[in-house]
Amino acid sequence: MDAIQKRKYNAGASGDHAMTLHAADFSTDTPLKDLQTDLQGILVNIADDAQKQQRNTGYASQLVTDLNKMDNAAWAMSKLEVEYAKKIVDPILQHKIDFSKTDFTHGAIADRTAHSKTVHDVVTTTVLSDMIAKGYKIDATKVSDLQSFIDKVLLDQGKPKDDIADVKSASTDLLVQLQKLKDVEESIDNLMVPYAESNSAFYNAVTDAFEPSAIGMRGIALRVVAVDSVTNTRIAGADVALDNGRTDKTSRRGISDFSHQVLPESNVAGTIKIKGYADGSFANQAVFNDRFTRLEIKMVKL
């Protein structure tokens, strides 16, 4: 999931949380309850698809970790074997395992694995016993560990290939699920409209919760909410202008957010304008560096 997709998911999850907290307010509203159930299923699907997307990256990261372990173990063991070959005067063995450091740190993974396998296979039971008897710092555990690292590298290489189809499928399905999320949220918005007058606290809590924010709730200094003075429903597309020169348009939920970065602690004034309504305004609104301020502006229809 990219940043925008994650923001949409988080907003959906926030909206679901708000609906759950206010479940008693729509306990007899079967269509709205059904939409929440649909929403929850979509959120689960999005989380699953996002996890599948990351799987290939996770396997690649594990491959790097296991590859480094294999390379380091094989390099250290090969140096002991070279000195052992010199000791027993076996030039054929010495040539076979006299690798350079770059043989284990550069080149194709298959080559590095093959070199490590060669280093491992040289240490037969007889050779291991002789090396230990001659005082070399090697034991059965180190030989076994090297084989384990080799096996893990081979396994890691297979996982991304096996999983690539699932990753592509998850990416495609993620887009489908995000569209479903958008659709179900629009349906929830529509069914919430009657509550704007009858239960404004419920309406505002849920509607605000579904609003995606690029800066996060803790980053918001001032939230301006434009609402119809009669129906209490939100007004989208209104122009919001602050006296410090900052401007914005309200979202489809009638919300305009200003961050702490652009609006430091102060008293602020502003106007809200949109065709069909008298201009709205506010003055001497205190905003603070350490908190979120919500300001609702009632717009009067002309």
| DSSP 8-state secondary structure symbol assigned to residue 24 | G
Q: In terms of C-beta density within 10 A (0-12 exposed, 13-18 middle, 19 or more buried), how is residue 135 classed?
A: exposed
58-105 pLDDT, tens digit per residue, is 556 677 888 899 999 999 999 999 999 999 999 999 999 889 888 888
pLDDT at residue 179, as a whole number? 94
**Model confidence pLDDT, tens digit, residues 230-264:** 999 999 999 999 999 999 999 999 999 999 888 88
Question: Running along the chain, 302 residues long, what does each successive block of 10 average in pLDDT?
Answer: 88 95 95 95 91 63 83 92 93 90 86 93 92 93 94 75 62 90 94 93 94 81 94 95 94 93 91 96 92 93 94
* pTM (2 d.p.): 0.62
User: What Cα–Cα distance (Å) separates residue 104 from each residue in 73, 82, 137?
Assistant: 10, 15, 20
Which residue blocks in the chain are alpha helix, DSSP H?
Answer: 3-21, 30-87, 91-97, 102-105, 109-122, 125-133, 140-192, 195-198, 200-209
Share above pLDDT 70 across residues of the chain, in percent, rounded to a whole number = 93
> What is the model's pLDDT at position 215?
75
Predicted pLDDT at 131: 94
